[in-house]
Structure 1
Amino acid sequence: MADNTSLAGEFLQRQINEQVLIVQVLVIIFLCVNLLLIIIFFQKEHFYTTARYILFAVALVADSFVLFISDVLLIFSYFRFTMQIWLCVIISILIFMYSVVTPVTLTAMTLERYVAVCMPLRHGEICSTRSTVHCILIIHGISSLPCVVILSMFFVSAPLTLYKQSKICSLEMFSLYLWHDHVRSAVQLLFFLIMCIIIVFSYVKIMKVAKTASGEDKQSSNKGLKTVALHGFQLLLCLIQLLCPFVESWMFHIDFRLFVEVRYFNYVMFFLAPRCLNPLIYGLRNEAFSQAMKNYVCISSFKRNAN
């Protein structure tokens, strides 16, 4: 019996090692792609003076930041590294906020597509560079609201001695009581419900325009429909992520090995995947960005060969 337990422990340890390595490979690939797209964004004036590309860059930066910091916390947790609670609170504030920045930015990008297709004559006025900068500030303000609620509950409930302790930093440590989880879920669900309503509204409006449009207008409308649908799929993945902690908690009490498998799947599918669709939607799928990427890669390769 002891031998079986030992073998099972070794198998689980090997499996976790492989999972951590796979996550590192995925994160490195996604960060490299995001970094390449950010570099290309600053290469052309057309990109950093156009609303949808500016919002795309904001989403890329937010995704890259969350991917990097969450991966560092994953490594720290795996190797059982601890840090003081006050430092963990600062890191968690940033993760909380920038985790929400991405879906809120997706919603803003959806509204930009709605204005471009349904109100083309007012698009230049509404989606100017100055308006986009104001929009970015609003996005960060809205994204900080769930963070304020969650941290307010923690600050009110946590004893002062807790901040001097050293623990493994994880977002779960902010849920000191069961009602903390309920309030956090309620706030996040409310946010995502509002964002889903906006995306459905935009999709319906663009679809009506697409039915009556013709020629280039119809092609533009159809492309806008596909983009909004992809944003909706991203938000759906983010929404499912809210349910993951409840499923994982249930699995933990049933079978630890199953819990590890489910948590790994949830992390890759509902945390990494939504933050890796942006490069596909507005990077590789977008003709201007795709062409700029090919030119950048070709020029870089030519310079490297010339040297």
Structure 2
Amino acid sequence: MNSNNSVFGQTLAQVHSKFIIVQVLVVIFLCVNLLLIVTFFKNECFYTTTRYILFAVTLLSDSFLFLASDFIFIFNIFRVTMQVSLCSVSCIIVGLYLIVTPVTLTAMTLERYVAICMPLRHAELCSTHSSVHVILVIHGLSSVPYAVIFITFFASASLDFYYQYRTCSVEIFFLYKWQDHVKSAVFQFYFLIMCLIIMLCYFKIMKVARTASGDDKISSRKGLRTVTLHAFQLLLCLIQFWYPLITSSLIHIDFTDLQHVRFFCYIMFNLAPRCLSPLIYGLRDEMFLHALRRCLSCGLYETK
């Protein structure tokens, strides 16, 4: 009896520690994102620059993801069930914004490629008007993987299933093995395409950086570093596409160990990649950093 109470106490302590860790991280990330979003909207000069517009898209999508995924995380960690219909809405939101960030990062990499390798066409291809179209395309492409998942689910599930109460996770929507295979195939296809785009842009920019001189060389090298950071951030985001393969291979291990693996993957591949966006454009970019300081000092910085 004492042994059971000790195990239960350790499990409860682990649950509380995981809950506290995630809530602290989410609050910190949301506060930083909110500050950067306010900085963006308070400076009209950012509205006409494609890379800043796309940066704002990543900040907004990451913030939505933090809120929606934290909602599901809290329910799961305390074993609270919810109706399948409500869970499907939550998973659609999380699934969409999980993919919006890597797709937007790919678009930002293409923007850097155009700016450095095709400077004469940059103003034409990366105008404010085209940025709106790019945002629509990003959300359209990001909705495809989970649209495939839920279309197959809605076609297969009975009406009674929607009113059942389950622990909310995307796995409950895979009623048949082939649905899991379809999801994995779509995700691996996205992973391959994004990796190819990043690699091609990197090598093209590196080629230009080697042949450039003076200010062009400095600009090319800075663009190369930015693309490198994008590649690292994108890699962390894209590893989440391997998550179904990881969980399916670990499905037969102890439940507690599986929960630890899921917690680790949630921190490393859902939350961690999103903290790099403020570093890339919030701190490394001189123009945005100047605006951020001015925002933090409420205008006092500009008078100094």
What range describes the TM-score normalised by the shorter chain of this pair? Answer: over 0.9
| CA distance 1:85–1:258, change in 2 (3 Å) | closer
The correspondence of residues 175-190 of structure 1 with structure 2, limited to 5 A, is: 175-190=174-189
Aligned-residue offset at 1:300 = 7.2
Counterpart of 1:192 in structure 2: which amino acid? F
Counterpart of 1:294 in structure 2: which amino acid? R
Gaps of at least 5 residues in structure 1 are 303-307
The correspondence of residues 184-199 of structure 1 with structure 2, limited to 5 A, is: 184-199=183-198
Structure 1 counterpart of 2:220:
221
- Is 1:37–1:293's contact at 8 Å kept on the other side of the alignment? yes
Structure 1 counterpart of 2:271:
272
RMSD: 1.7
Corresponding residue SS for 2:138: helix
The total of aligned residue pairs comes to: 301
Structure 2 counterpart of 1:305:
none
User: What do the CA deviations read for 1:39-60 (whole angstroms, capped 9, x no partner)?
Assistant: 0001111111110000000111
Q: Does 1:98 align with 2:86?
A: no
Structure 1 counterpart of 2:118:
119
- Is 1:82–1:168's contact at 8 Å kept on the other side of the alignment? yes
Structure 2 counterpart of 1:83:
82
Structure 1 CA distance for aligned equivalents of residues 300 and 216 of structure 2: 38
| CA distance 1:208–1:57, change in 2 (3 Å) | same
Structure 2 counterpart of 1:142:
141
Structure 2 CA distance for aligned equivalents of residues 258 and 89 of structure 1: 26
Counterpart of 2:105 in structure 1: which amino acid? L
Counterpart of 1:125 in structure 2: which amino acid? E
Corresponding residue SS for 2:298: helix
Structure-2-length-normalised TM-score: 0.94
Aligned-residue offset at 1:82 = 3.1
Corresponding residue SS for 1:276: helix
- Is 1:97–1:143's contact at 8 Å kept on the other side of the alignment? yes
- Most deviating of 275-284 and 255-264: 255-264
Aligned-residue offset at 1:220 = 0.8
Structure 1 counterpart of 2:287:
288
- Is 2:191–2:241's contact at 8 Å kept on the other side of the alignment? no
Structure 1 counterpart of 2:172:
173
Structure 1 CA distance for aligned equivalents of residues 300 and 44 of structure 2: 23
User: What do the CA deviations read for 1:95-147 (whole angstroms, capped 9, x no partner)?
Assistant: 22221111111110000000000011111111000000111111111111112
- Is 1:192–1:235's contact at 8 Å kept on the other side of the alignment? no
Structure 1 CA distance for aligned equivalents of residues 260 and 299 of structure 2: 41
Counterpart of 1:19 in structure 2: which amino acid? K
The correspondence of residues 1-307 of structure 1 with structure 2, limited to 5 A, is: 2-251=1-250, 253-299=252-298
- Is 2:102–2:238's contact at 8 Å kept on the other side of the alignment? no
Structure 2 CA distance for aligned equivalents of residues 105 and 72 of structure 1: 24
Structure 2 CA distance for aligned equivalents of residues 219 and 281 of structure 1: 17
Structure 1 CA distance for aligned equivalents of residues 92 and 139 of structure 2: 12
User: What do the CA deviations read for 1:250-286 (whole angstroms, capped 9, x no partner)?
Assistant: 4453333432322221111111111221111111221
Structure-1-length-normalised TM-score: 0.93
- Is 1:116–1:123's contact at 8 Å kept on the other side of the alignment? yes
- Most deviating of 158-167 and 27-36: 158-167
| CA distance 1:260–1:88, change in 2 (3 Å) | closer
- Is 1:189–1:239's contact at 8 Å kept on the other side of the alignment? no
Counterpart of 2:102 in structure 1: which amino acid? P
Structure 2 CA distance for aligned equivalents of residues 267 and 175 of structure 1: 20
